[in-house]
Amino acid sequence: MHPFEYAAPETLEDALALLHEHRDEAKVLAGGQSLVPLLNYRLARPRVVVDINGLPLDGVRADDGRLRLGALVRHHQLEESDTIARHCPVLREAARLIGNVRVRTLGTLGGSLAHADPAAELPAVMTALDARLTVASASGRRSIAARDFVTGPLTTALAPDEIVTEVEVSTSPARGFAVEEFARRAGDFGLVVVVALVRVDRGGRVADARLALGGVADRPVRAAAAEEALRGQEPTAAVLAGAAEIARDRLDPPSDAFASGPYRRLLAGVLGRRALARAVAGAIQSEGAEAR
């Protein structure tokens, strides 16, 4: 690693003061699953590393129809928390796809979002959930919509002296969900990730649908046209397939060493159809359980 100074502030205010002082020359250490490899390969050469693991940013609480997650909530907490399973189970499903046991033990929600890998599961899930991120600096706090947070590959709307402190999502128990991805090996980032959220009315028609994809652009994308095509419709296999095709046909994924753009586009259609089918099945089951 390139030599750097190490600081482990005891309060959020102290951490923010350090970031304000050093700005672009500082890096934040949370779970370290992204930063440490960057340091090892000297792709990042900060003057100061600010370790925030001692800060009280790991809470999980649900109230007034909202689920609030601290930035230091670990991936394994997303997977194991009864509160999350009860109020936003799609996060549990997504967490199980992340890396391996070591990564899930150390990696953090805020760290994954701030790293902004276009193929990561959590940014796509937060985009589908219409989450809001609270970010803080020495000069105050502000809220950013998840769909506006990632601005490009490994690039976010965070200023150099800001950190993510909390993520907030709405809760909806009567909503089906699914996370589908295709990866070269278990635990790898997906070549394509698809997140589907569906709510049906008592007549069995789609009341609301959300479809987000990762790995198909320089940031997570919402398939708005596909969502609109589903609303108010009876979710037959043909309707779901048609919505998945709409989402697929509006994509122009990049090619790289792992997969071509056309292959990613094909995967998006296949995984979109699977995710919507599972989400609809879960939504119908949830609506039936509530009706009883």
What pLDDT sits at residue 21? 97
Is 180 within 8 Å of 276 (Cβ atoms)?
no
Query: Which regions of the chain are under pLDDT 70?
Result: 173-174, 288-292
**CATH-assigned architecture of domain 176-286:** 2-Layer Sandwich (3.30)
What pLDDT sits at residue 290? 60
**CATH-assigned architecture of domain 5-51:** 2-Layer Sandwich (3.30)
Task: Please state the domain extents for the chain.
Answer: 5-51, 60-170, 176-286
Same fold, 5-51 and 176-286: no
What pLDDT sits at residue 158? 97
- Determine the Cα–Cα distance for residues 220 and 142; give it in Å rounded to an integer: 21
pLDDT tens figures, 217-251: 999 999 999 999 999 999 999 999 999 999 999 99
What pLDDT sits at residue 288? 65
| Amino acid at the residue 98 | I
- Distances in whole angstroms, Cα of residue 10 to Cα of each of 52, 102, 149, 160: 8, 25, 27, 20
Closest of 174, 179, 176 to residue 195, by C-alpha: 179
Two tokens, residue 201:
């009315």
SS3 assignment, position 249:
helix
DSSP 254: P
Closest of 162, 171, 161 to residue 144, by C-alpha: 162
pLDDT tens figures, 100-151: 999 999 999 999 999 999 999 999 999 999 999 999 999 999 999 999 999 9
Which residue pairs, CB below 8 angstroms and at least 24 apart, start in 55-61? 55/9, 55/11, 55/12, 55/15, 56/12, 57/12, 57/110, 57/165, 57/166, 60/84
Give me the phi and psi of 284, to 5 degrees please. -65, -40
DSSP 284: H
Within 8 A by CB and 6+ apart from 70, the residues are 56, 57, 58, 59, 60, 109, 110, 165, 166
CATH topology of domain 60-170: 3.30.465
What pLDDT sits at residue 60? 97
Two tokens, residue 234:
């009876």
